[in-house]
Structure 1
Amino acid sequence: METSDLLKRVRQIEIKTRGLSSNIFAGEYHTAFKGRGMTFSEVRAYQYGDDIRSIDWNVTARYNHPYVKIFEEERELTVMLLIDVSASRNFGTVSKLKKNQITEIAAVLAFSAIQNNDKIGVIFFSDRIEKFIPPKKGRTHILHIIRELVDFYPEHKATNISVALQYLTNAIKKRCTCFLISDFMDDHDFEHPLIIANKKHDVVALQLYDRREKILPPVGLMYLTDAETGESVWVDTSDKKVRDEFEAYGIERDKELDRIFKHAGVDMASISADEDYVRSLITLFKKRGAGY
């Protein structure tokens, strides 16, 4: 992409997603993703109704009057985006490629993070780690992330989510909130690495899909190519049995994903490439906020 076109695209995404994160997601994000705990703020004189367990006995002894410790919620988070950049993201049959939807959602999450004074970092992965952007704060850092989202070209086409989760677990030492953004078209078993990652961090899964990956239209013979393996096959979509088997396979795949996420204790939202992702994200945030 030419530099001028890239900057224009980055600017368009910034205007749209920064507005969404400011006007729509700010409160929901703050509630859904809390800090790591409580941090000491100050001491003050004991007041009627204060919890006696919060009394600071050293200060109390010094002044011969009861004082209590005051704590505040530690708000600062580290947010990591684990973004699938395998070849299957370059698919879209309606208004958007999955890649473009992923870019906007990641940008919204990034702006939501910095507006809450959180650090944000990114791990791009295919069947290996393609690029790691360490977590930082600030608008300049966010624009760097968006440029990479728009114009990053991976070296490999396949998918291995386990590799990304293992890298996250090893590379990020302190607990973080992690958004795993993928279509989850992965033949590898990533359940165990997901469980381990979610014990150390707070993992949230966002599944991006195209409707034609679930239901085939009856349009006759179609020549389909797997973007990741290069394998091709002719499919007769006028055959109802073929369409029914394809749909049944998609349903079973989604059921298995749902089972994996529930077993791992991971919240998940499924978002179509051509739908408005705002409602799905707000529903997810409210669900998490209600759980605190």
Structure 2
Amino acid sequence: MMTEANPTQNTYLDNPAIYSQLDELLRVRFHVKRLRLNSQQKLISEKAGYRQAIRKGRGMEFNEVREYAAGDDIRHIDWKVSARTQKYHTKLFTEELERPVLCLLEQSPKLFFGSQTRFKSVQALNIAALIGWITLQEGDRFGGYVFNHKAHQWVEAKHQAKTVLQFLSAASTLQQQVTKPGSQTDWQQHLAQVLPYLKSGSRVYLIGDFLDVEADFFKTLSNFKSHCEIVLIHLFDPIESNLPTQGLLKLTDGESQTDFDTFSSAQLADYHAQYESRFEQLQQLSHGMQIPLLSVSTQENALESLRAQKVVT
């Protein structure tokens, strides 16, 4: 079982199971050729019980104002210019050819945990790297928002390799600031930070734990969903849902510690019931809002997991 990284030991920074290695994230680019991201509509159709979602079109950008001509959409008349010139004028728009694809990425102490293969924070960044490079090769713009318990950074979506690199580098830096596990993640605060940046037609991937999100989390997501595609990607470690029977274990949330007797059937049953209850609530809320919810384990190959769940094809 992995141990908690000691903040006084820099050697952990070179351990790819505990901290992401930027060169490996860059090499992901060469493993995603000819892959594509599926839309929210496609993911919803793959989930039994979901109704078909309304397809969100790409955004429209203002181009110019010209004199009104027969056949123009009267809804686009610019009344201010028309009043000033005493002639009807209409606004012209062009469709955005590059869709903004955004990753909202958690790198908080809550993800600073892993039982065998890698930490949840590392797997989260693996997924973001896959989405970034696939987005770029599809001809769309990639950007996003990454945060930990101390800071956050917004990266404007652009169709440039250096923008993907900027995002991955920022995420790696914030990841390395985390040296011990914790229990709280203020997603609500960070969603409020991102909302003003969203453009109509954007595709937004939220990558994190989500089992203890704030009560208003899904209410805020409804503001996102009104003009964007939303996909939730839940990170988990197998030991979280299925504790091994290894006698007395010491459990910590980074602040307090407690003993847990895995030989006690009553304690095990209570632990599993609490976990299942939180996950079921997450499923019900996402299902009710028709937001696809995918789950990726720390022990899985991130690309193969996304393929199996139809996120990429």
Q: Same fold (TM over 0.5)?
A: yes
Q: 1:29 to 1:187 in 2, by over 3 A?
A: closer
The answer as to 2:142 corresponding to 1:120 is yes
Q: In 1, distance between residues paired with 2:276 and 2:114?
A: 19
SS in 2 for 1:274: coil
SS in 2 for 1:223: strand
How far 1:30 moved relative to its partner? 11
C-alpha distance after superposition, 1:226-246 (max 9, x if no partner): 03xx12211111111111111
The answer as to 2:33 corresponding to 1:22 is yes
How far 1:125 moved relative to its partner? 3.0
How far 1:120 moved relative to its partner? 1.3
Aligned length: 253
Q: In 2, distance between residues paired with 1:38 and 1:161?
A: 26
How far 1:174 moved relative to its partner? 3.3
How far 1:218 moved relative to its partner? 1.0
Match of 1:271 among 296, 303, 310: 296
Q: 1:38 to 1:170 in 2, by over 3 A?
A: closer
Structure-1 residue corresponding to 2:230: 203
* Identity of matched residues, %: 21
Q: Tell me, which stretches of 5 or more residues in structure 1 are unaligned?
A: 40-55, 59-71
Q: In 2, distance between residues paired with 1:102 and 1:26?
A: 19
The answer as to 2:250 corresponding to 1:223 is yes
How far 1:255 moved relative to its partner? 0.8
How far 1:101 moved relative to its partner? 0.8
The answer as to 2:160 corresponding to 1:138 is yes
**Aligned-residue CA RMSD in angstroms?**
3.4
The answer as to 2:34 corresponding to 1:12 is no
Give TM-score scaled by structure 2 length: 0.70
SS in 1 for 2:245: coil
Q: 1:217 to 1:27 in 2, by over 3 A?
A: closer
Give TM-score scaled by structure 1 length: 0.75
C-alpha distance after superposition, 1:54-105 (max 9, x if no partner): xx979xxxxxxxxxxxxx9864211111111210111000111111111111
Matches within 5 A, 1:143-162: 143-153=165-175, 158-162=184-188
Match of 2:198 among 172, 185, 191: 172
Q: In 2, distance between residues paired with 1:208 and 1:226?
A: 17
Q: Which moves more between the two structures, 276-285 or 246-255?
A: 276-285
Q: In 1, distance between residues paired with 2:149 and 2:24?
A: 30
The answer as to 2:207 corresponding to 1:181 is yes
Q: 1:178 to 1:114 in 2, by over 3 A?
A: same
Q: In 2, distance between residues paired with 1:92 and 1:128?
A: 21
Structure 2 letter corresponding to 1:18: R
Q: 1:201 to 1:26 in 2, by over 3 A?
A: closer
How far 1:179 moved relative to its partner? 0.4
Which protein is richer in helix relative to its size? Answer: 1
